[in-house]
Amino acid sequence: MANGKDNKKPNNDSEIVEKAATKANDFRLLHENAMDFLVINGIKVPVISEISSFLPVGHLQLVFIGGGNIFNPNKKPLAKVASTLLNFGTKKLGKVGFANLLDSKAVSINASVGQTTLTIEVDFLKEYEDFAYEQLHSLLSDPNITESSLKDTKTQLQAAFMSKQSDFDYQAMTLLNKNVFANTPLAYPALGNKVSEIDSITLREVREYLQDNLALARLVVVIGGDMNLSSSLEKLTKMLSMLPQGTQIQIPNYQVKKNPLKILRKDTQQAFIYFASPLNIDSLRTEGYKAQVAGFILGSSGFGSRLMEEIRVKRGLAYSAYMYPNLSKITTSFFGYIQTAIDKQDTTIALTQEIVRDFVSKGATQEELDSAKQFIIGNKPLNEETLSQRLQAKFMNYYNGLPLDYKEEFIENVKNLDLQTLNDFILAHPEIANLTFSVVTKQNK
C-alpha cells in the first residue's frame, strides 16, 4: 500500500490511511466533459468547486460514495458507528484535545453518513486554511480508533437509539421503510433495530470499513469559498495522496413496493400516518421536473395543495398533510405523511387514497399549474443562496447524473411546461396511486 496502488489491508490493523513515506504526486488538474478532476496516484478524483470572495471563509467536503448506510453488513449499523467515531479526534490529542485545538482557530471538522455516502466536512476562516488542512491530515492519518473511544461511541448511539423509541414520527418512518423497501438495505434503520446491534460492532470492523471507504476511487472533492482554487487543490493533492486507491462501488436502485397496511401500537394520543408509492421514471433530467411540479400540486406545497385543501381546510381531519416526490439515484418515489386524531385515521387514509386516485386519473388544472410555476421558479434560487447550499446542489446534480449547473435548465423547463404535457405525465404514472400505508397509533385497550 506504500505507493497507493496496493489495495490490500495494512499489516498494522490500526492503520486507516497510508502512512509510509512517499513522494507526493505532482499536481494535475484535468477538465473533461464540463468537470474538473484531480489526478492523484493515477485516480481521477472529481472536483466540484465555486470561488466566492463574499465572505473570508472556506468550505470543503470529502465525499466518499459507497460509505453509506445501505452498505452495512447484515444487522449491524456499522456506517453510523464508524462515522461517529471519526468525530472523536485523533489518538494523539483525543476527542477533547482535538476539539479544543480546532476551536482555537474557529475550524470545524465533522464526519457524517447518509444512505450511500460518508462525508467529512471542513469549515474554516480564510486565514486558517492551511491549519484546517493540517488538522484534517492528522485526523485521516491518526483517527482515535481505540477500544475506549468505540465504547463511548456506542454509549452515545445507544442513547440516541433509546430516545427514538418515543419519537413517533421516526417510528412511523422506520415502519414505512420496512414495509415499502422490504428485503432491501433501505429497510434497515441507520441506528439498527436493537441496542445490541450497535454493541455488536467491533474495532476491526470499524477499521476495515474506513480502510475500504476512505479511498481515492470513491472520493469526490467539494470545495469553495474565498481562496486560490489551484493552490488549495495542490495542497489537498499532497494530503490526499496518502489514501489508498480502493475500488469504486455502484449505487443500486430500489423501487417502492406496494404492501398491506402495517400498524405499530404505541402510547400515543395521535395517529402518525406515513405512506409511499412508486414512481417509475427513466430520466431525472427529462422527467424529474415534471414530477416536482406534479408533487407540488398534489401535496408538497402546503396550503393550496390537493391534500391540504381536502384533508385540512375542507374537513379539518388533520393539521397538516404532505406528499412529495423523492427523486434520486437510489430511488424515485412519492412519500407523504399526515398526523390526525386516532378516531379519524381510517377516514383520513381512505380520503388520501381517493384524492391521489382522482389526481392521477384527471390531472391538474391550469390554475394549479400557474401557481406551481410561480412558486417553484421563484423559490429555486432561494434554495441556493449560500455557498454551502450551492455546492451541495452541484454535488447532488453530479451524484444524480445531471449537469452541475442544472438549476438554470430546471427553471427553464418548468417555465415552458404546458398543461397538456404535465397531464400526459401524470396520467402516464398511475403507479403514484399505489399507496402503501404505515401507521403508529394508540395501543389497544
Residue 344 neighbours by CB under 8 Å, 6+ apart? 271, 317, 318
Environment class of 408 (CB within 10 Å of its CB; exposed 0-12, middle 13-18, buried 19+): exposed
- How many other CB atoms sit within 10 Å of the CB of residue 242? 22
| 43 contacts 247 by C-beta, under 8 angstroms | no
CA distances to 132, 218, 386 from 58, in Å: 10, 23, 12
Which grid cell sits at 391? Answer: 455546492
Per-residue pLDDT, 25: 52
Residues (pLDDT < 50) of the chain are 1-24
Residue 324 neighbours by CB under 8 Å, 6+ apart? 295, 296, 299, 300, 334, 335, 336
d(CA 424, CA 182): 31
Q: What are phi and psi of 107, to 5 degrees?
A: -100, 140
Per-residue pLDDT, 445: 54
Residue 202 neighbours by CB under 8 Å, 6+ apart? none
Instruction: Name all domains of the chain by residue range, CATH numbers in brackets.
Output: 29-241 (3.30.830.10), 262-442 (3.30.830.10)
The continuous run of DSSP H or E covering 169 comes out as helix 168-180
Environment class of 22 (CB within 10 Å of its CB; exposed 0-12, middle 13-18, buried 19+): middle
d(CA 10, CA 14): 8
- pLDDT tens, position by position, 124-155: 999 999 999 999 999 999 999 999 999 999 99
